[in-house]
Chain A
Amino acid sequence: MELFLFICFSIICIISALFVVLLKNPVKSALSLIITFFSMGGLYLLLEAEFVALMQILVYAGAVMVLFLFVIMLLDVKGPLKEEVYYRNRKIFTIPLVILFFVLLLVGFFSPLATLGKKGKFSSEWILSQGGNVKVLAEVLFQKYLLPFEITSVLLLVAAVGIMVLGKKRVK
């Protein structure tokens, strides 16, 4: 059952990711990217990462993609760009990309990466006994990763100020 769900989600994920690249209309690309994000949320659920799955759907499929669609609507781009008809330097791109793809595939499939490193104590039974994924994550986040968490808030503040500066009209 788990394998079946995994195959379903990953096939949806890969096909809609292909559509992101292949479709000419940016609105359609954005919509298929939303499908990709939703099915990745399903994959996260299969990995018992409930918090990450919810964040994926709320932040990515919700906020980020709304932002993308808003900008597409705002800029009023009609159809494909003219320059999109031909891709220059196609050969230069293809060879390293094919190599990259196969290296990633080989590393992913054949290397015994899971046996590297010690196994931690956070097995799924232990997480269940401690009250669930979100609770365990929060305990680690606010103890071990407290400083990075605070720095993240500064980063978001900087981003907000930067958007204000970029977005305002120049007043002479």
Chain B
Amino acid sequence: MVPLNFYLVVSAILFSIGAVGVLVKRNTIVIFMCIELMLNAANLSFVSFSKALNKVDGQLFVFFVMVVAAAEVAVGLAIIVNLFRKFGSISVDRANLLKW
């Protein structure tokens, strides 16, 4: 029986790696992957809490998070394709129309 804290530590490490990636990378697709990584870290702590507390609600929340993440990825990648069509590059530095 692995204690809950170990899972939480793994989840914390994965979330931090994802956060670093979002801030450091310039490639929009890789930034998206890092967002997925952060969502997955949150999912891991959901499931480990649902095991520790003997409830299944956490697993159902993971189900909903996955659905939302799938929708988000599909829309986001469509936006990236449009960005590439417009600027000819997928660097986030090029997408600065809304920057003040």
Using CB atoms and an 8 Å cutoff, list the residues of chain A in contact with chain B: 2-3, 6, 10, 13-14, 17-18, 20-21, 26, 29-30, 33, 36-37, 40, 43-44, 46-49, 51-52, 55-56, 59-60, 63-64, 67-68, 71-72, 74-75, 77, 80-84, 87, 93, 97, 100-101, 104-105, 107-110, 113-114, 117-123, 127, 133, 136-137, 140-141, 144-145, 148, 152, 155-156, 158-160, 162-163, 166-167
Q: How many A-B residue pairs have CB under 8 A?
A: 224
8 Å CB contact of A67 from B14, B20, B74: B74
Q: Which residues of B contact A6 (CB under 8 A)?
A: 2, 6
| A2 / chain B contacts, CB cutoff of 8 Å | 1-2
Inter-chain contact B73/A64, CB cutoff 8 Å: yes
A155 surroundings in chain B (CB, below 8 A): 67-68, 71
Enumerate chain B interface residues (CB-CB to A < 8 A). Answer: 1-21, 23-27, 29-30, 32-34, 36-37, 40, 43-44, 47-57, 59-60, 62-64, 66-75, 77-82, 84, 89-91, 93
